[in-house]
Structure 1
């Protein structure tokens, strides 16, 4: 149920408003009453209402003042109800972003339609707000994931000649190793070990193409202390041995 506060200084008209229709059938609960501008503002600051109804029959210009002061605190929907038809009043109400203005005589069916419309607006806003928050969380999450994966890749680039493991990197970055591995695979479309092998082999190819370094020196430069293991990995990656690759690139 969406909570309503009624601003009305007259007890008789408050009771009349209460009995006008079944508020709960419309999804609302006429919960609190305020007899003055001051008490209305106090309640708005203390309670999370979804709708304010201001009875204009006796309040007149004071009712607009109540509305104006509420607007300084909240964008909550407001209905002005009762009173005479007054173009200037309606114009002022429009500037205060009043949801509806129902002058006398107020018909129950008209009032009910107004409440259903506001209920739909409240629910539409809530859905939009939730989607917006979800989108922001998703964007933030994606940015966070991208940032952490970039840190992993930077570490690989800078420490390529060292003994690199995802466990070591996850400890440095204070991340769960399994979680980091899953995030890396999701973003890069390959496992961390596949990426590490790719980076080592591509750097080895670059050094074979552009330097006179010995093959064992290149193996050390890309993180392999055992030359035989480097030979095996390089041939599996390129289809040829490191020495054959160098000859082909000349």
Structure 2
């Protein structure tokens, strides 16, 4: 059983986190609680933990500072929960190489997935899904996850040379893990999602603007017009020019 230190100054919030999951069935036990960063550092210095769980909503900026303080002397896994849906905040947290950043409201399925990944890291092997994990997955709501940060990044940087490797490096995340997490939550590969977003935006631009085709291509991240033509036709079944003509006829 792996011991967890929960850092959260709010008693009701701590109870909610404790009751959210069957921690024991997942291989963890919340052994200690800390009200503030100072107490957390003292606990880590005197006790043995496998994971630190920080409720950043309750600690505010002290939560991020705590991540940095822990990283000065320990590589212990850290999961940050209760954060905002803000890419810059998430990126700042992830520069401390936390295992995951779960925005508020935290869904049990997202926390289960994060704990499972930590458990795999701790055990050095793949952990099979337990009945608890399976029972929670069907209730999963695709929000409050680092995947939201990835999707927001795609939307904001669609005109750039976007890749999962670049995003994972920016967030200090393991690329393979992030790719698997994305596939599990979105039911598609990251590259499939990226293509979908580029093509759907290209369709809107062709329908709603008078931009030239090469301008549309550049706007969705394609510098080579021939490659854009190829991918667009594969995706829509028609050429970009024909698509625009049809959109004008039906408008």
The TM-score with structure 1 as length reference comes to 0.49
The TM-score with structure 2 as length reference comes to 0.49
Larger radius of gyration: 1
